[in-house]
Structure 1
Amino acid sequence: MTSLVTSDGKTQAGRRTSKIAAVWKEYKKCRYLFLLLTPVLIWYAVFAYSPLYGIQLAFKDFRIMDGIWGSPWVGLKHFKFLFLQSPDFFKILGNTVVISIYHIVFGFPAPIILALMINEIRSSKFKKVAQSLTYLPHFFSWVILGGILITLLSPSTGVVNYLITLVGLEPIYFLGDPHYFRFTLVTSAIWKEVGWGTIIYLAALTGVSPDLYEAAVMDGASRWKQTLKITLPSILPVIVLMLILRMGGILDAGFDQILNLYSPATYGVADILDTYVYRVGLQNFQFSLTTAVGLFKNVIAFMLVLFTNYISKKLGQDGLF
């Protein structure tokens, strides 16, 4: 069998060998940089990929004494229970989707807007102070922030309700009233993460050429026009990429936040898949059933990432792949 010869006189096999050699040479040149990457790879191997071994629990009746391999295979039994017999699953799934959509609709644009606002600040000192203050809540756990919110929003002693009563309104039980609980979840999540989320967008804004703004000023464009016509289009690829990644976590509605803030009075609007897994899996020891829930979440997340990536590429934007 003869090898095909390309226009430059090399065979396809020869060009493939040359390409592999060039790639290997580049890897060898950057070997110390890849050595720095080793701890990250080990972390992912141990905490992200090795747990995939336990996915088979979703198709078994797990017995601790028998172990994963020794437990009997039951096929789709747990999935049938979730979709056909469980009285709470679809209500919990609905809560998860609704809260996640609120987070995307209101939470996703928030760091973009804040990054644009910080980018317009002319005083470098004030900009640093503003960034530091907005970053700060990210470094506190929801255990701490939950206690702060419970204190601030208390209907009897909280500062927020004290101000509400000053204008003649009735106190609002933000964390105990189902009508206000989701609003409180979303606004507190934005408060905690909006500053941290601006880091990527501020980095993207530094890559926008100043020449574009100078040309826009010469044409008489206002700051608002410059934002719409130059700034946003320039960082749009980053926005699309972050949206694709965000869609992959649409069924992650904020377990640690909800676990620290919800109560039996708000279970009807706050109980999500993650709290269901915690309650049924860890407290009731139904590991196989909750593994099925987790597998369902991951499959949906993977499909949403693929779909969002497909739509972004159809609209002419860069995707993940």
Structure 2
Amino acid sequence: MSDLSSTVDPSISEGTSGFDTSRIAEVKAWLVSQFEAAGKDVPGFEYTPRSVAHLHALATASQAKTQAAGIVAADLRQKATEYRSQAARIREILENVGLAQESFPQSAVASVQVLANVANLLNVRDTEMSSYLVAMGDISLRKTGVEEKRAKVQKESILLLDYTRKAIARLTYLKRILAQLEDDVPSCEAQMHHWKTNLEIMLSKERQYLQQYSNYKAILNRVGYTSDISHGVLVEMDEHRRDLEKKTKPILDTLRSYQDLPPDKALAALAIEDKRRQYAAAEKYLEDVLQSALATTE
């Protein structure tokens, strides 16, 4: 059934197959014959145009193959009859010349049988030595070819086995690395969470410091701070201020002592004028020092 189904042309359509009574009868008769041969009953199903078309194609193919098989079987039976007739004729000829099988010793019969088996195995039509030599040469060539193919296959098998072993080793290594990475995932996730928290804190601090920097810059601009005023300049000016305080302190002490003297207008005017000159000189000295400090900074 399966062999027949493979021969059915699937392009058969319902329109071309028809749905006539004669075709259904042929299909039913074929189904009954096939199922009876298998010892089973025909299962019930609906006869549709499509099913009838496919079953009719199956029946046609089956009948064609059955007819062909019958022709081949008849030919084989005829050949067998001819071979038996020829064997009987040859046996009669051998018996007439005294070469019947019964007249040979058992060892000779066994040898002939072995020779016939070898001839069948080598697929030779006669028992000529040349036929055996040709057959043996052909077998030798095929054996050599098989051995070469076997050697090639063995070599490829060794290479494939080596590749397989390397692949298994790499797979084992990758599995071990994967297991190690999976074990490291929790600690890495915790570390990443810690870094993420620190990053958020740093971003917050950055925004805070930028805001403070902006505020301080606005304050410095408001008080008139410039880049010329640096820490070194302020330290140097403070040192000069302290030197001037040390220099002006005796003068101030002297001026304070004059407040305790009796009033003398002429002497007081002279003393005041002298102290004014000293004070003016000190102020000029301080101004010169500041100008030189600023010039050095620039």
TM-score, structure 1 length as denominator?
Answer: 0.19
By percentage of residues, which structure has more helix?
Answer: 2
The structure with higher relative contact order (CA 8 Å, sep 6+) is 1
TM-score normalized by the length of structure 2:
0.20
